[in-house]
Amino acid sequence: MTFDIIQLILFILPAYVANAVPVLLGGGAYLDLGKNWNDGVRIFGDGKTIRGFISGVVAGMLVGIVIAFYLPSIFFSSMRNQILGAFALSFGTMFGDAAGSFVKRRLKIEPGKQFILDQLSFLAFALVFAAPLSLPYLFEPLSIGFLFVLTYVLHIGTNALANKFGLKKVPW
């Protein structure tokens, strides 16, 4: 089977969880420790905290480990690679999320303001980080295309919901 939606969603779930959890568990010290870049603007800004980063990575890994336990080696070639893969997806997500903020700050886009990278950079980095460990079928153009479209749609939907329930100030 080259294109299985359920499998793809399970594969990417650690990244989605890593991306969502900081909204709930973030806070405390800023990832950039409040420091500015050489353009006089914050490196990442108030929206990226150390606790958010770590909670995202840990939560994504936990989900990946549960998936590995129940569905060993359908996404990665072994249980060991599944767990490493969950780490790669989660860490890649938080890295890509911070990288997106870095670019936004350089473009003088304020934290919380919507930007195309909000949806795309975390997924791109998650996939790049996980690629060396994943099974080839996950990297067929149709699978990648599906994941980007799904992520874009879900991100907008869940952020609108988070806003409705008062978890986020803005609906994106």
**Is 101:45 a contact under the CB 8 Å cutoff?**
yes
Q: Rule CB under 6 A: is residue 16 a binding residue for ligand CTP?
A: no
Nearest residue to 82 (alpha-carbon basis) of 73, 90, 91: 73
One of 14, 22, 60, 64 touching ligand CTP (CB under 6 A): 22
One of 7, 62, 74, 111 touching ligand CTP (CB under 6 A): 111
What's the min distance (Å) between Cβ of 98 and ligand CTP? Answer: 6
DSSP letter at 98 equals H
Rounded to whole angstroms, the Cα distance separating 134 from 116 reads 26
DSSP letter at 48 equals -
Piece of 4-12, 74-82, 93-101, 134-142 that binds ligand CTP (CB under 6 A): 93-101
Nearest residue to 122 (alpha-carbon basis) of 144, 84, 148, 157: 148
Q: Rule CB under 6 A: is residue 155 a binding residue for ligand CTP?
A: no
The nearer residue to ligand CTP, 118 or 126, going by C-beta atoms, is 118
Rounded to whole angstroms, the Cα distance separating 163 from 34 reads 26
Contacting positions for ligand CTP (CB under 6 A): 22-23, 26, 31, 45, 47-49, 52-53, 94, 97, 101, 104, 111-112, 118
